[in-house]
Every structure is written in C-alpha cells, then in structure tokens.
Amino acid sequence: MKQSEFPYDKIPPALLRDWRGHPLYIIATYLRGQLMLTLPAFLVAMIFTRIIARVIRYDLASMVTVVVALVTAMAYIFYHRYSTNIRAFLSTLIAGISPDQELATRAWIEAINFPPFVVGGTILVAILAYGAQAIYFFLTTEFRLAIELQGWIVSLALTVAIALVFFLLYLERTMYPVTLLALAMGAQASLDDSCVYRFRLRPKLLVLILPIMIVPLVTLGLFGYSQAVILGGDPTTSLLLTGVVVIFSGGVAVTLTLLLVRNVLTPVQEIEQVMTAVADGDLTARVRPYNSDELTDLGLHFNTMTEELAEQEQVKTAFGRYVSATVRDGILGGRIRLGGERRELTIAFTDIRNFTSWCERTPPEQVIRTLNAYYENLVQILTDHGGTVTRYTGDGVLVLFGAPLDDPDHARHAVEAALEAHELLEKFNDIRRTAGAFELRTGFGIHTGIAVVGSIGCEARAEYTPIGDPANVASRIEGLNRELGTSVLISHATYECVADYVIVGKTAETPVKGRVEPVQVYEIVGLHT
C-alpha cells in the first residue's frame, strides 16, 4: 500500500513514532514504566531500609541499589526479547506498508503474551536476586542478625511484588492499542493457538489481590518491630510477636482472597460452560444464577440471547417446511429481498392425474397422508438436484431450477430430477399396489426461459415465486401429458439446453392456451449414459 493511501489518522500517534524507521513505542513504554513504577518502588524500598538500618546498624542502601539496578536492566532485556514481532509490525506501518495477515497475527499473539512474559521474567530475576541475598546474610552474619535481615528482604520483595502487579496492569494497557491495530490489519485471533499463553482469571486475581492485602500487613509489622526495638524492647521477642501477627493476618488475607477468587470464578465458569454448549448446538443450556451481582446479570442476559436463538431456530425449522432450505436461508439472511430480478431459469410443474375424482371417493385424512408421504420423497429428489420448491397447489408442485442461486446447468438438473421422481413414483405405486390402494399418476412439464423471480407479497406474508410466461408455459406443457400419454415433457427451449444428454420419445407441436404460436414439446424417456 502506498504511503499516501495508508489511513494514519486511525492509528494512535504513539505507535508510529520512530527513529530512523525504528519504532520507539516499546522503548518509550519501558522508560515510562521505570519512571512511573520502578522509581517509586525504589524510594519505598529505601524508606524500609532506613527503618531497618536504625535497628541493626547495617549498611543496606548499596544492596538495594544493586538489586533494583539488576532487575531494571533485566526488564529491558525482556522487553526487547518478547517484542520482536511487535517491532517488525510497527516498522512496516511506519514505512507506509500494509502488514500481511501472518505478521499481524504474530504481532497480536506477541502483544497478548508480552505482559505476562516480561513480568514473569522480571519476577524470576527478583527471586534469584533476593534469594542470593538471603543466603549471603545467613552465611556472613550471626544468626540473630540474619533473621532480622530476612525481615528486611521480605519487605523489599513484597514491595517489588506489588510494583510488578502495577507493572502487569500497565503493560496490558500499553499493549491494548497494539492488539486492536493488529486485529484491524487482519490478524487471526484465537486463544486456542499453541503460541498464546493463557493467563487465566484465577492466577490473575491471585496475583493482583494477594500482594495488595499482604504488603500492608508486613509493612506495619516491620514498622512496629523497629519501633519496639528502638524503644528498648527485646529484639527476639518483638520479632517473634511481629512474625505471629503477620503470619496470622496473612493467613486471613490469603483465605479471604481464595474465597473471593472462587466466588468470582464460579459464575464465570458457569457462563463459559453454557457458551460452549450453545456453540456445540445445545440451545437448551442455561446459566444458573448464583447471586445478584453483575456476573449473574451477564449470565441472565446470555440466557435471554440463547432463548431468542432457540426461537429463531424454531422459526427457521418451521419456515423450512413451507419453502425450500435455499429460499429460507436466503430470506432469513437478507439475500432475497421483496421485489424481484430477471433471470434465465428452468421451471418444472408437476401434478397428480385424476386427483379430483380420487379425492371425492377417498377420506380426506387418507388423501393428506398419501400426499405427504409422496411429497416428502419427491421434494428431497428435487432439492438434491438444485431445485427450489416454491408453491404447492393441492396436487401440484412448482419448482425452480437456477433460482434463487445461480446454476448454469439448471435445464439438465430439472430433467434429471423429473426422471428420478418418475422412478420414485413407480416404487411408491408398487407399495400401494400391494396394499390395494389407488395408484398415483403424475406428469412433469418443463420449460426454460427468462422470468422475474423474487419474494412477492408484503412484509407480513410473502412468497418466493416466478412471474411471467415461463411459469404458465410449464403448467400448460404438464397438462399435455394427459393428451399424449406421457410422463415427462419439455419445451423446445429446454431441449436446446439438454439435447446432448436426453433420450427423446414422442414429439409434438401443439397449441397452448395463452400463446399464439404452437409449442414444440419432447417426451423424455431417459438419459444418455
């Protein structure tokens, strides 16, 4: 895509800032994060250090500086390591080129993975650094002093932990415009991709809530401990009491956190299970309300949507009993509109001979059962060959081939369907003959021409049907079967389309009601193999 054609106005300007073609978004995100989060965390750590240093008289400031510097440097390495595709994606945009779908997808995946990967790597470095410090203190200082220093390390570790929680939220927010832009560029988003790290709700809630609840407890405990020692209290006793209070309070905090997480996850998992069931086609699945919060409200809204889907499916199924599946899906999908269009198509008309006299001497219930049994198989054959049944007229059926969907071989398919339907009728009559019942005799009239087809009627009630000469001619040709003693008759227009495929029996040129010129008709007795 040329640079002048690219829609820069739809992209956040921060994503397009560059230095010699290299995107600055990732480095800007890193620097802003260090300024907003690392610096305050460092200052808080130094405050803790000064409090502890007043008790144990140990120079700790240099250690704090070294650890924070190490974590900060490693964070930048992780930024660079886990943003390769993001930077390539942004570089392409900066160059005024539209990224391909594969690059956009890789960038989307990397933007999803970036926050947990960077924060996870930083946490690992912090654990190793503080663990090494703890081991060093135990190996180089007396036991009592080492215990007191561990409290300082715990306070620093928790300070870093809560900073990393903010860091995670910050990175998720900064990656949000990248994911949206990648999707706009055609990225294929799927959480089932093996490259996507699923940072699920349970661990995310635990990571977010636990530090927020525990850090203040530890901070207050350490502050109380330092004040007790400064005021002349026994360090060991003060440390023991502080530890008991912190552990007990921490246990309460952890328990409350787990209960909260479970309370939140239960309705979420319920909604997820119901959504999966609905996606698999089970429209009877419903979300069960557990309480009265927003998640329950969301579940009930999903139930309403599922009920509407079930109603639509019932309408679709019922609708399909009155029109063909093709017409049904076209109307429901908005592809067939009220009005019409001119198109070449083949129209077949079939009805049952001597239907009126048979109805007069046969109970109506039996007539309906017989017609339904015959039509069920007949319609299946017609639709298998691409036909669209648009109208039932008692004993007659009007079928379109080549509408509403295009079919270049509509004439041949109409003839094939008529011959197969005739074979079906013979089998149907074999069964009725065995039972001593009335044998049905039908005829097919087929004509090809240009007609106006569409959904005719009003918004409340409409019918997809052809308007014009071809429908009338097909009906008149079908009526000639009685005179000629045939079963399948086609017009000359249809014959020109299928002459190479069909075996012709009788031919005739006969006047047809509604036409000045006589119509040439051909009996079809089979197909060339």
Amino acid at 441: R
CB 261 within 8 A of CB 202: yes
Section 80-104 average pLDDT: 91
Give this prediction's pTM: 0.54
- 44 pLDDT above the threshold of 90: no
Question: What residue ranges do the domains of the chain occupy?
Answer: 3-198, 200-296, 336-527
Average pLDDT of span 120-125: 87
Q: Which residue has the tokens 């829609």?
A: 7
CATH architecture of 336-527: 2-Layer Sandwich (3.30)
For 482-496, the pLDDT digits (tens) are: 888 899 999 999 999
Residue 17 DSSP symbol: -
415 contacts 307 by C-beta, under 8 angstroms:
no
Kindly state the tokens that stand for 426: 């013979």
Residues 6 or more apart whose CB falls under 8 angstroms from that of 462 comprise 331, 338, 455, 456
Comparing 3 with 416, the larger pLDDT belongs to 416
Q: Which of 454, 418, 410, 55 is nearest to 222 (CA)?
A: 55
CA distances from 130 to 44, 155, 172, 386 (A): 16, 11, 26, 74
**pLDDT tens-digit map of 218-249:** 656 655 655 555 555 555 555 555 565 566 66
CA distances from 245 to 89, 220, 224, 225, 234 (A): 52, 10, 11, 11, 17
Q: Given pLDDT bands bounded at 50, 70 and 90, which one contains residue 97?
A: confident
